[in-house]
Amino acid sequence: MSLVLVIGNKSYSSWSMRPWMLLEQFRIPFEERVIPIYIEGSKERILDVSPSGKVPALIDGDTVVWDSLSICEYVAESYPALAIWPRQKKARALARSMAAEMHSSFQALRQQCGMVLHRRKGPVDFTHDTLADIRRIEAMWADAREKFGADGPFLFGEFGAADAMYAPVVARFDIYDAPVGAQAHSYMAAMQALPAWKKWTAGAAAETWRIARFETPGQ
């Protein structure tokens, strides 16, 4: 299989980070193609490869899969020998529910704490709604770890699609020094120790693109 993953800037594109982490950590061969986002001509370039006009997009021959969660599902179906979703039915149901909630929710966190990996670390004046998002995510992580995380440091023991879906949240919690407890910090440390994480963040650090509206003045 010759896969091409079209992504946006690594410092900003949280949606791109999810399937990239999944493919990279599971050592699934793919070609990375970066289209810088939010600049003149980027929408047209993305439309050339994805009907949504957004990244990420996975190209597999004449098949194009867009949207990060759909890509994770496609990869899981394409590589059934890999435990991309938990093998146990109840664990898999929880993992998919958590991934879907991440996919559709937490607008306050997204808006107040944009993923800008080169931002100087430090908290903001978290709104009530952002704090509610943080508490909900922390509670879900704890629930998954308690029920199904005995075999490893990740949400369901071993790294999988649910972890990939929450990778940008780990980045946000770290960048903005989110008020979470020791268990959440332990999980975040496990994510940040992954080779795929280190490779993505190194790529982000090497980028020179800057999008003014996402930048904090003076940083």
Is 144 found in the same domain as 74? no
- Classify residue 7 by its DSSP letter: E
* 213 lies in some domain: no
* pLDDT, tens only, 14-24: 999 999 999 99
- Per-residue pLDDT at 39: 82
Looking at the structure, do residues 104 and 72 belong to the same domain, yes or no? no
Specify the DSSP class assigned to residue 66: E
Q: Both 116 and 183 in a single domain?
A: yes
Question: Could you tell me if 103 and 176 lie in one domain?
Answer: yes
Instruction: Give the number of other Cβ atoms within 10 Å of residue 48's Cβ.
Output: 9
Chain-wide mean pLDDT for the chain? 95
Does position 219 have pLDDT exceeding 80, yes or no? no
Summarised one tens digit per residue, pLDDT across range 156-192 is 999 999 999 999 999 999 999 999 999 999 999 999 9
Instruction: Give the integer Cα–Cα distance in Å for 6 and 122.
Output: 31
Q: What is the pLDDT of residue 217?
A: 44
Asked whether residue 219 is domain-assigned, the answer is: no
Domain with 9, as residue range(s), is 3-81
- Identify the DSSP state of 176: T
- Let me know: does 19 contact 5? Beta carbons within 8 Å: yes
17 and 64 part of one domain: yes
Long-range pairs of 199-204 with CB within 8 A, sequence gap ≥ 24: 199/24, 200/10, 200/17, 200/20, 200/21, 200/24, 201/10, 201/117, 203/10, 204/9, 204/10, 204/11, 204/117, 204/118
Spatial distance between the Cα atoms of 147 and 131, rounded to a whole number of angstroms? 24
> 38: pLDDT confidence band, cut at 50, 70 and 90?
confident
What confidence score (pLDDT) does residue 193 get? 98
Residues 112 and 184 in one domain: yes
Task: Say if residue 211's pLDDT is above 60.
Answer: yes
| Residue 199 to residue 92: CA distance in whole angstroms | 27
Asked if 69 and 111 sit in the same domain, the reply is no
Match 């090497």 to its residue by tokens: 206
The predicted structure's pLDDT at residue 1: 54
Q: Give me the CATH number covering residue 8.
A: 3.40.30.10
First CA to last CA distance, the chain = 42
Query: What is the pLDDT, as a whole number, of residue 213?
Result: 62
Q: How many domains does the chain have?
A: 2
Let me know whether 95 and 77 are in one domain: no
| pLDDT higher than 80, residue 29 | yes
pLDDT at 37: 86
Provide the b/e sequence for 140-165 (b: ≥16 CB within 10 Å).
bbbebbeebbeeebbbbbebbbbbbb
* CATH number for the domain harbouring residue 180: 1.20.1050.10
| Count of residues making up the chain | 219
Q: With respect to residue 214, please indicate whether it lies within any of the assigned structural domains.
A: no
pLDDT score recorded for residue 27 = 98
Q: How confident is the model at residue 218 (pLDDT cuts 50, 70, 90)?
A: very low
* pLDDT > 70? residue 106: yes
Same domain, yes or no: 65 and 141? no
- For residue 49, being part of any structural domain is answered with yes
195, 98: one domain: yes
